[in-house]
Amino acid sequence: MKVLKFGGTSVGTPESLNCVKSIVENQPEPLIVTVSALGGITNRLIECGNRAEDADPVYHDIISQIRQRHFDVIKAVVAPDCQAQCREIVSKLIDELQLVCDAICLLRELTPRSSDLIVSYGERMSSVIVNHMINGSILRNSLDFIRTKQVYGKSVLDREQTSELIHEYFDQIAGEKIVIVPGFISRDSRGHISNLGRGGSDYTAAILAAELHASVLEIWTDVDGFMTADPRVVADAYVIDNLSFVEAMELCNFGAKVVYPPTIYPVFTANIPIIIKNTFNATHPGTLISEGGSGRGIVGVSAIADTCLLSLTGAPMEWNERMINSLSRNGVETLMPNGQCQCAIHASDSKRAMDILQSKFAEELASGAVKVELTNDLSAIAIIGAVTEQMVTNATEQFAAALNVCGIPVSYAPRQASPGALACLVPHSFLNQSLNAIHSSFIVTSK
Ligand code: ADP
Ligand code: ASP
Ligand code: MG
């Protein structure tokens, strides 16, 4: 059995859906097919919720456009005798979305729970369409078997509950040839609709692959494979044929958006290979992520676009451990700590991080000699690969030099960010230029 996952662009238009249909229907073995919302729909749903909260009547137009787009797709890809049934199911979901948005508009309040409910409609509708489009498929709803729990105010997978439920649901349908599953969506322990985070359909597919011992997880997207950098930013980027799980994990953790970061872990521990493939160029072999590996030193360049530099200015070095521990124990990921009361954090964690330090160091801060400082609008850029000790020394110089030559200011010097990543901070406005400079220096020259 294989698990295939098709992202938003792959299920975005009638043309792309026809590619999906032919890829799926031509596979000889049993399949689980996980699908994202139609391309762009999740963003539209988020906008819809925000407009409803502001009582901006534009939300009605957005809902009409979402309805029309789904109806147009149904008309183009679903067999004529199945269209009425498919339209009816999708229509009911959109009517429900309309009711939810009307309630938000009346209340003028969009809560995290209602926002999660709104974004869930994307995958709930796309999976119904794909189910009606693919001959001989059945639909199973992730809301029944993917469970999340709250950790530090964030929704994360409840692996134990999910594992039990997946076996309960899938053991009964073991002989089915094609099972369609919506990605991304889940329920929490109280039964409310939640999700696995933006880009989370990859993770849904990986969890199913690991639990049900798939032979492979295929992630079908809009590029030929995992590339040495984001091809939208770095024109010279090229496809990497093979990556180890660890190399892929490092690249994803450092912002390579082609795979959602938590995806790799469940399949890595179950030793199930991942293949990244292009829905629009199905004959290209893509990238194999497995126990093997690239056999190369530096495999790629990636970036976390929105980061801040957090400093406990004036603090003695001995406070560093307390600072880093208080952040990480409270769910703030610290990137590249320098051992001197400074580290980078994700911009989305900045308020939380400031609050934590202000409360943990309240007494010390009261004297005025020490301050919590935040430098905003930075990006972390990294080279990823087998960063050996020797390389750290050489690469650090090469890294800084490559940026220097291009006149790019370095806000935080290059340092080892994890066992396989060497990173530095640059002003956000220099992100794309930096990625190109570092890619030319480390990847193009070594090709
Ligand atoms: P999907 O909708 O299929 O989930 P995503 O947009 O999430 O697709 O991921 C595919 C996109 O990831 C590509 O279009 C590409 O621009 C971007 N990307 C970023 N880094 C990389 C990389 N290293 N290799 C390939 N694609 C990358
Ligand atoms: N539709 C969701 C998103 O846009 C999940 C996904 O596509 O993987 O983030
Ligand atoms: Mg994605």
Tens digits of per-residue pLDDT, 354-407? 999 999 999 889 988 899 999 999 999 999 987 677 777 777 888 889 999 999
How many Å apart are CA 135 and CA 82, to the nearest integer?
11
pLDDT attached to residue 264: 97
How far is residue 382 from each of residues 268, 391, 423, measured CA to CA in Å? 23, 14, 4
Name the closest-CA residue to atom 17, ligand 1. 258
**Burial class of residue 124 in the structure, from the number of CB atoms within 10 Å of its CB (0-12 exposed, 13-18 middle, 19+ buried):** buried
Can you read off the two tokens belonging to residue 410? 């370095």
| Whether the Cβ atoms of residue 317 and residue 269 lie closer than 8 Å to each other | no
Q: Would the CB of 37 count as within 6 Å of ligand 2?
A: yes
pLDDT attached to residue 170: 95
pLDDT attached to residue 447: 64
How far is residue 116 from each of residues 47, 97, 339, 415, 421, measured CA to CA in Å? 13, 12, 38, 38, 33
Helix, strand, or coil (residue 216): strand
Confidence (pTM): 0.94
| Whether the Cβ atoms of residue 311 and residue 265 lie closer than 8 Å to each other | no
Q: Would the CB of 127 count as within 6 Å of ligand 2?
A: no
pLDDT attached to residue 178: 98
The segments of the chain whose pLDDT lies below 50 read: none
User: Which residues crowd ion ligand 3, with CB under 5 Å?
Assistant: 7, 199
Using CA atoms of 57, 63, 64, 66 in order, give the dihedral in degrees to the nearest 10.
150
| Whether the Cβ atoms of residue 121 and residue 11 lie closer than 8 Å to each other | no
pLDDT attached to residue 295: 77
Q: Would the CB of 39 count as within 6 Å of ligand 2?
A: no
**Burial class of residue 156 in the structure, from the number of CB atoms within 10 Å of its CB (0-12 exposed, 13-18 middle, 19+ buried):** middle
Name the closest-CA residue to atom 4, ligand 1. 7
Q: How far is the CA of 203 from the centre of ligand 3 (A)?
A: 10
Name the closest-CA residue to atom 6, ligand 2. 199
Q: Would the CB of 8 count as within 6 Å of ligand 2?
A: yes
How far is residue 245 from each of residues 221, 333, 383, measured CA to CA in Å? 19, 21, 16
pLDDT attached to residue 390: 73
pLDDT attached to residue 446: 67
| Ligand nearest, relative to CA of residue 7 | 1
Strand order in the sheet with 412-418: 334-335, 342-346, 298-313, 371-385, 421-427, 412-418
Can you read off the two tokens belonging to residue 207? 């969890």
Q: How far is the CA of 10 from the centre of ligand 3 (A)?
A: 10
How many Å apart are CA 398 and CA 443, to the nearest integer?
12
Mutate to test the pocket of ligand 2, among 9, 186, 198 (most ligand atoms within 8 A of CB): 198
Name the closest-CA residue to atom 9, ligand 2. 198
| Whether the Cβ atoms of residue 245 and residue 258 lie closer than 8 Å to each other | no
DSSP 429: G
Q: Would the CB of 119 count as within 6 Å of ligand 2?
A: no
Q: Residues 6 or more apart from 293 whose CB is under 8 A from it?
A: 242, 243, 244, 246, 247
Mutate to test the pocket of ligand 2, among 4, 6, 9, 36 (most ligand atoms within 8 A of CB): 36
Q: Residues 6 or more apart from 279 whose CB is under 8 A from it?
A: 6, 9, 10, 16, 19, 20, 23, 220, 221, 222
DSSP 381: E
**What does DSSP say about strands 147-151 and 185-188: parallel, antiparallel, or unpaired?**
parallel
| Whether the Cβ atoms of residue 427 and residue 377 lie closer than 8 Å to each other | yes
